[in-house]
Structure 1
Amino acid sequence: MEPKSDLEFILRNLLAGGVAGMCSKTAVAPLDRIKILLQAQSVHYKHHGVFKGLMAIVKQESIFALYKGNGAQMVRIFPYAATQFTSFEIYKKYLSVINIPMVQHGDKFVAGAAAGVTAVTLTYPLDTIRARLAFQVTGEHRYTGIANTAITMFRTEGGIHALYRGFVPTMMGMIPYAGFSFYCFESLKYLCMKYAPTTLCRKCDRNTVVSVEKNHHYNLEILLFAKTSTILHIRYFKVESAGMIKTLTLIYRENGVTKGLYRGMSINYLRAIPMVATSFSTYELMKQLLQLDTGMSVA
């Protein structure tokens, strides 16, 4: 049953986005943890590569340790992904009616960047907490859970500022990352539906917001293909004490470019395709199941 109001559309979209985010992050949770351990140069794993590091985690801790911090990740990712996807749909609809050539050609980028900024602003403390939990090694735990981490950081590290430490550089990275992510996906989806509708689409009784050919719907094949475009990577620096420039300078002086500023880059290439493919595929599938294809009205 199609949503009867914009509010119902937004609520359904929040659910679709949240589920998509949880599926995508769970799929790459082991890679997320080893990425954090390598980037932060944990004394236990900094000499390992990606695959040896994963095996070392299982050997030294347990197979379940691959998912350490994933609980906090789920608490964070549901509102984050729900906000990001829903914000994108709303921003995209409003930007589509603006009669400015530059905006018309870049509306998907602007909508994606704005959606990323919105989501990060609302959920950043949860990301900080998740990183702290994932960095812990068995036997050296400082925090016992999500609430304990938040309370401890708030009380001992400067209040709310501690939970938003590193927010500015993360935001600077999020704007191009989210902007290009949504722009590439929407553009490639449009091209595939326009030039190969019979190959990459299937018949559908309802038209869609982004459909080029009426009565056609996109298959998961187009989504998996389109999201490979988001391998573009921006590293988000978690600044724990110094400012962004000082942190970048310190990392460069101590470890250089390859082993410092771009540490963890290979993991991002490994995780990018399954993560974003799962995210957008699940989101679009949820949209179909929840009958969100017709979109929302614009006042």
Structure 2
Amino acid sequence: MALKMEQKNDFEFIMKSLLAGGVAGMCAKTAVAPLDRIKILLQAQSVHYKHHGVFGGLMAIVKQESLIALYKGNGAQMVRIFPYAATQFTSFEIYKKYLNGLSIPMIQHGDKFVAGAGAGVTAVTLTYPLDTIRARLAFQVTGEHRYTGISHAAVTIFKTEGGMRALYRGFVPTLVGMVPYAGFSFYCFESLKYFCMKYMPTTLCRKCERNTGGLVLTVPGKLLCGGLAGAVAQSVSYPLDVTRRRMQLATMDPATAKFGVGMVQTLTHIYRDNGVMKGLYRGMTVNYLRAIPMVATSFSTYELMKQLLNLDTGMKVS
């Protein structure tokens, strides 16, 4: 009986965590969808927008295409982001719980980083083809459409570019970049949350509504911790994000076909052609503008959903 109850509680925890994570991901990505699209266009140096800056590019999209074009590819993004974020946040909770029960000196102080990195790798492995499709749809310019929608893009890429391998183009740099990105995101957020609860319990925290004696972050506290975590994570992993995009979009333009090769070769091509700031870190300005509020919204929504679903009992800090 006790085992069945424990299994039921575990199943309920996983289902609620999946829901909380999925909703958090959808809210975060929709909030920054226009910045996401201009980031992709700048990263891959679209001939239509590569001479524009962030705000100039957004204005140009509205002028040349339409206001709704700012959200091009967001439908595919929602299809991808719900299972991605749901898997990532739930995996993090499971890995964190598992690692807390181990006594391994090497990860004693880095268990949140390891759990976050593992969660990111798990999520991206399961949902990567949808990210490739979303990038292709977002890169299209009105009047020059190659794909009519998500399913058409998936079938076309699969049939004409080499099957599943084409849908996973750019996967290696994504996987390599995901370890520091997801690892630092979760590690920084959890560390900052602990810092706020220990040193600013009356400023950025409040008592948990379930009367457990624990503390939870206020909304400003959640946003602050999430934003700082996103800034750190993006700074470390951004060049690999650029590499991934160039590989994903290589076949969209004959002039960029050389970027369809391996990760190291693509990194080398980007560096030789455009250097560090205009190549490997191209679009970083828009990335900060989108990543900081995106990660802040993601963590904040997830923490709020956990409280609404009675998953968060608050943290006790000694």
TM-score using structure 1 length: 0.93
The aligned amino acid for 1:84 is: Q
Percentage of identical aligned residues = 77
Q: 1:26 aligns with which of 26, 30, 33?
A: 30
Paired residue for 1:273, among 289, 292, 309? 292
Task: Say if 2:303 is the partner of 1:284.
Answer: yes
Amino acid at match of 2:215: H
CA displacement 1:79-106 (0-9 Å, x = unmatched): 0000000000000001011112332200
- 1:222 is aligned to 221
SS of 1:45 mapped into structure 2: coil
Give the structure 2 partner of residue 263 of structure 1. 282
Partner of 2:206, secondary structure, is strand
State the aligned residue count. 288
| Residue number in structure 1 paired with 2:70 | 66
Aligned to 1:231: 231
Would you say the 8 A contact 1:207–1:293 is kept in 2? Answer: no
CA RMSD of superposed structures (Å): 1.5
* Residue pairs, 1:91-102, within 5 angstroms: 91-102=95-106
Q: Aligned equivalents of 2:9 and 2:263: distance in 1?
A: 44
Aligned to 1:243: 262
Task: Note if contact 2:73-2:135 (Cα within 8 Å) is conserved in structure 1.
Answer: yes
The alignment status of 1:162 with 2:166, answered yes or no, reads yes
Letter of the aligned partner of 1:243 in structure 2? G
Give me the whole-angstrom Cα distance separating, in 2, the residues matched to 1:204 and 1:183: 22
- 1:179 deviates by 0.2
Question: Contact 1:207 / 1:216 at 8 angstroms: preserved in 2?
Answer: no
- The amino acid across from 1:284 in the alignment is E
Q: Tell me which residue corresponds to 2:207.
A: 203
Report the alpha carbon displacement of residue 294 of structure 1 after superposing the two structures with TM: 4.6
Amino acid at match of 1:216: L
Residue aligned with 2:202, SS: helix
Compared CA separation, residues 221 and 152, structure 1 to 2 (3 A): same
Give the AA of the match of 2:157: M
Q: Name stretches of at least 5 consecutive residues in structure 2 with no aligned partner.
A: 1-6, 251-259
1:142 aligned partner: 146
Shift of 1:242: 0.9
State whether residues 226 and 297 of structure 2, in contact with CA within 8 Å, keep that contact through their aligned partners in structure 1.
no
Higher fraction of helix: 2
- The answer to whether residue 16 in structure 2 is matched with residue 15 in structure 1 is no
Cα distance in 1 for partners of 2:209, 2:304 equals 16
- For the pair 1:38 / 2:57, whether they are aligned, the reply is no
1:216 Cα offset (Å) = 2.6
Q: Does the C-alpha gap of structure 1 residues 266 and 205 become closer, same or farther in structure 2, counting only changes over 3 Å? A: closer
**Conserved? CA contact 2:214–2:313, under 8 Å:** no
- Paired AA for residue 231 in structure 2: I
Q: TM-score, normalised by structure 2?
A: 0.87
Higher deviation after alignment, 93-102 or 30-39: 93-102
